[in-house]
Amino acid sequence: MAKYQAGSTARHRAIPLAPAGGLGGSPSGDGRLTRKDGLLMEWVIVLMLLGIIPAYVAMAKGRNFMVWWLYGTFLFVFAIFHAIMIRPVDENLHHYGRRYCPHCEKIIDLDATRCEFCEAEVPPVKKE
């Protein structure tokens, strides 16, 4: 039983995305952790793993991964929607050959001279 507890810390390092069912073996009452503490720790680990999802989405849009990971860990439901909703930083969009229309804020080609959505003329952008 005591050996099981030592194994549990090694387990979350080895498996970055352990399934929720796989974390079921909590240390029993003879260790330092009570069953309740073990369950809480498992939840924290699950939430931290879930928090990676919005953090990854936000990072793809040029945001800070660590900040969004914390956000996603504590407020997963909000963070995942927020990460999907936020607009990418402009430099990040330029990397993909896209930019925002200054008139309607929709994403258009970087070298477009006219917005394909609102049909307004847009100033040319120099590529790096």
The number of beta carbons lying within 10 Å of the beta carbon of residue 5 is 17
Among 33, 53, 104, 112, contact with Zn ion (rule: CB under 5 A): 104
By the rule CB under 5 A, 39 interacts with Zn ion: no
In the structure encoding, which two tokens stand for residue 33, read together?
């952790």
By the rule CB under 5 A, 43 interacts with Zn ion: no
- Classified as helix, coil or strand, 99 is strand
By the rule CB under 5 A, 101 interacts with Zn ion: yes
Q: What is the DSSP string of 36-55?
A: HHHHHHHHHHHHHHHHHHHH
Among 76, 103, 107, 112, contact with Zn ion (rule: CB under 5 A): 103
Residues 28 and 2: their CA atoms lie apart, in Å, by 8
Choices 15-23, 57-65, 70-78, 107-115; region in contact with Zn ion by CB under 5 A: 107-115
Contact footprint for Zn ion (CB under 5 A): 101, 103-104, 115, 117-118
